[in-house]
Structure 1
Amino acid sequence: MFNQTFDSPLIRRIAIVGSGLAGLTAAIQLQGLGHHITVFEKSRGPGGRLAAKRVTGGSADLGAQYFTSRNPEFLPFLRKFAGPDSFGRWQGRFGFQADADKWESFPQETRYVGTPRMTAITRALSEHARVVTETRVGKLARNDQSWAISDTDGNHLGDFDAVIITAPPAQARELLADSGLKNLASHLDDPVSRVLPCWAVAAHFPVSPWVYHEGMRCRHPALFWVANNSSKPGREDEGQWWVLHASPAWTEAHVDTPADQVADKLLAAFRETTGFDTGPDEVVTHRWLYARSEGGEQPGHLWFPDYRLGLAGDWLSGGRVEGAFDSACGLVAELNALAATR
């Protein structure tokens, strides 16, 4: 798939909105097929849910905690374009809380993380694409056979033959609605309702607060996931940084709670779960409004040929990190097949 050629007079210039794994995968593959690609990213750098925050002594992964590989093309793609040193195996012990006092092991599966942080993967991938950062796309305007794209301040960003949106469904729907494409935006009503928020807290402990697992799924009503970030490969921390993810229901109930209060409540839940009551000595908090998708149809990607507009993202393909790659691959394959028929 990656070494095929592409020659179409109709679709040459493509804009991609979002520089997460889906956007960068699509950009790299489409460039390999002969397209001219520009990726627009609202933040200072690429990443999407492969996110990390700087903390004392290093960084902590506050978004996706790890990824697996079931598609045989996924890891070869990462090795080729991100480099073999940008990720590695997380050989931790993983457990889930069967009841208040009983822990059981996760099924055996190879888990990978970015090294020395999750963003290492997308930053390496972004070197193979033209990424325009700190630019929020605000409107798409159809001009004959092309799209005129402008930012939220009304500045013209360029004209393109096709557009691919890889933002979360709520942001994608908003962009489509603001562009007068309410018929397309309506396709996202159900996916938007299924996206779950998540409060995340990174906490530093001078000594280990839990010695039995490096990653664990909790039964506590406030906690969904807890992990020893310092146990991941490439981390050189003094002490241990732990990441706490709140449950979706708890996050929804506390979505507007001040961050310091959220941290206090989640750390209290962590103490109840582990019994450890010393520390932490540093805390970083982040609120994800669009953390992950749950349920609903999973078409893999969406392509509207009459508009030359597509959508890709993990929310269209199972919600896992690898789903972002699968979604982008499916959309690129459809575009390539479309060109072959012309």
Structure 2
Amino acid sequence: MNNNSAPMSSVRRIAIVGSGLAGLTAGLRLQRLGHDVTLFEKSRGPGGRLAAKRVPGGSADVGAQYFTARNPGFLPFLREYGGKHCFAEWHGRFGFRDEHGQWGSFPDEPRYVGTPRMTAITRALSEHLRVTPETRIEHFARVEEGWQVFDTEGSDLGTYDQIIITAPPAQARDLLKQSQLHHLAAKLDDPVQKVLPCWAVAAHFAESPWTQHEGMRLEHPVLYWVGNNSSKPKREDAGQWWVLHANPEWTQAHVDTPAEQVAELMLAAFQDIAGFTDTADDTVTHRWLYARSRDGEQPGHLWFSVEGIGLAGDWLAGGRVEGAFDSASGLVTAMTKGS
């Protein structure tokens, strides 16, 4: 979606809020065009939904479980900027279980993962960019030279010609409101209502609790996804780490439930599905308040040339990991049109 597209030939400095795949893609594409780009990341390192949690002996992917590559430019982009060793195909057996407990086939297409963890991709991409970590942007203010950016500590982070926001819609809307851009913030009211939460649990088992599949998509009152993280390439775990994702409805009903109780309930559901009796000997939980978007308008990106503000993210382009790449690429095309 291109809102009032205009040439960007005069842009010299661009601030990007967020260093997930969308922010990194936009940054790399803009930097290649000769622009001066700075990314601001609220966490200690890049990643976004390509997130992993440290666990004894390694890590477990608690965010996106894999990604596909339907855009022919996606894998070449990753290889160019991340190197051919930062991801690999996951040759797992995948199944779908319907609401009646019947098993069926899963779409047959290549699935890729970061190696040795999902964050390997974003960390490799970020090495080519200026990323300022542990910096949460509070607001930006219009000045004659462009936009003056401030963090939550009140520090002036510099003046930029244009700004790209890659945060989830609720956080993006808050940032626009705090920047007195209420007319832009209002455009995110509907997307905010469509973002779904997700509880994630990584659980360790000494012996395999399930041998029929490495990944399972479920229609279940509690679980949406179960996967054997240890079966992914270049994982060298003792025993097996499995990752469980709850479905959005169950997560919403338990969004404030203590993490330990959430893990117990989700593991009980997994036991019921798989029919095993052994208990996990270790668990790690993570609550995603902004996991994915349900059906709604998918404009690809938002570009407001009058204000010099752009928004990109997977929530604007279908929700898949690859959607973040598509969204950011489309935004950069809109920003640079005619330059």
Question: What TM-score comes out, normalization by structure 2 length?
Answer: 0.97
SS of 2:337's partner is helix
Aligned to 2:4: none
Amino acid at match of 1:129: L
Distance in 2, matches of 1:255 and 1:191, equals 19
SS of 1:84's partner is coil
Change in 2 beyond 3 A, CA 1:314/1:8: closer
SS of 1:77's partner is helix
Aligned to 1:28: 28
Q: 1:181-192 maps to which residues of 2 (within 5 A)?
A: 181-192=181-192
CA contact (8 A) 2:145 2:159 kept: no
Q: Tell me, yes or no, if structure 1 residue 327 matches structure 2 residue 306.
A: no
CA RMSD for the aligned pairs?
1.1
Aligned to 2:18: 18
Distance in 1, matches of 2:304 and 2:50, equals 28
Aligned to 2:118: 118
Distance in 2, matches of 1:145 and 1:316, equals 29
CA contact (8 A) 2:51 2:64 kept: yes
SS of 2:287's partner is strand
Q: 1:67-106 maps to which residues of 2 (within 5 A)?
A: 67-106=67-106
Q: Tell me, yes or no, if structure 1 residue 264 matches structure 2 residue 264.
A: yes
Q: CA deviation at 1:101?
A: 4.0
Aligned to 1:232: 232
Which deviations, in whole Å up to 9, do the C-alpha atoms of 1:195-214 show, x marking residues without a partner?
00000000000000000000
CA contact (8 A) 1:220 1:273 kept: no
Amino acid at match of 2:15: A
CA contact (8 A) 2:263 2:285 kept: yes
Aligned to 1:255: 255
Which deviations, in whole Å up to 9, do the C-alpha atoms of 1:48-82 show, x marking residues without a partner?
00000010111000000000001111000000101
Distance in 1, matches of 2:209 and 2:112, equals 24
Distance in 1, matches of 2:145 and 2:73, equals 34
Aligned to 1:273: 273
Q: CA deviation at 1:102?
A: 2.2
CA contact (8 A) 2:8 2:337 kept: no
- Aligned residue pairs total 333
Q: CA deviation at 1:190?
A: 0.6
Shifted more, 34-43 versus 97-106: the winner is 97-106
Q: CA deviation at 1:8?
A: 5.8
Distance in 2, matches of 1:317 and 1:56, equals 35
CA contact (8 A) 2:38 2:129 kept: yes
Q: 1:1-342 maps to which residues of 2 (within 5 A)?
A: 10-339=10-339
Amino acid at match of 1:23: G
CA contact (8 A) 2:98 2:220 kept: no
- Gaps of at least 5 residues in structure 2 are 1-6
CA contact (8 A) 2:62 2:243 kept: yes
Distance in 2, matches of 1:158 and 1:183, equals 24
Amino acid at match of 1:225: W
CA contact (8 A) 1:62 1:243 kept: yes
Question: What TM-score comes out, normalization by structure 1 length?
Answer: 0.96
Aligned to 2:3: none
SS of 1:185's partner is helix
Change in 2 beyond 3 A, CA 1:290/1:215: same
Which deviations, in whole Å up to 9, do the C-alpha atoms of 1:158-214 show, x marking residues without a partner?
100000000111100000001111110001001110000000000000000000000
Q: CA deviation at 1:100?
A: 4.1
Shifted more, 96-105 versus 314-323: the winner is 96-105
Distance in 2, matches of 1:14 and 1:137, equals 14
Which deviations, in whole Å up to 9, do the C-alpha atoms of 1:131-169 show, x marking residues without a partner?
000000001100024000000121101100000000111
CA contact (8 A) 1:206 1:279 kept: no
SS of 2:19's partner is coil
CA contact (8 A) 2:147 2:159 kept: yes
Q: CA deviation at 1:47?
A: 0.2
**Greater relative contact order (CA < 8 Å, ≥ 6 in sequence):** 2
Shifted more, 246-255 versus 216-225: the winner is 216-225
CA contact (8 A) 1:303 1:331 kept: yes
CA contact (8 A) 2:29 2:332 kept: yes
Q: CA deviation at 1:105?
A: 1.5
SS of 2:98's partner is strand
Which deviations, in whole Å up to 9, do the C-alpha atoms of 1:99-137 show, x marking residues without a partner?
444211202110000000000000000001000000000
- Gaps of at least 5 residues in structure 1 are 1-6
The share of aligned pairs that are identical, in percent, is 67
CA contact (8 A) 1:228 1:243 kept: yes
Amino acid at match of 1:267: L
CA contact (8 A) 2:8 2:338 kept: no
Distance in 1, matches of 2:199 and 2:161, equals 38
Shifted more, 139-148 versus 321-330: the winner is 139-148
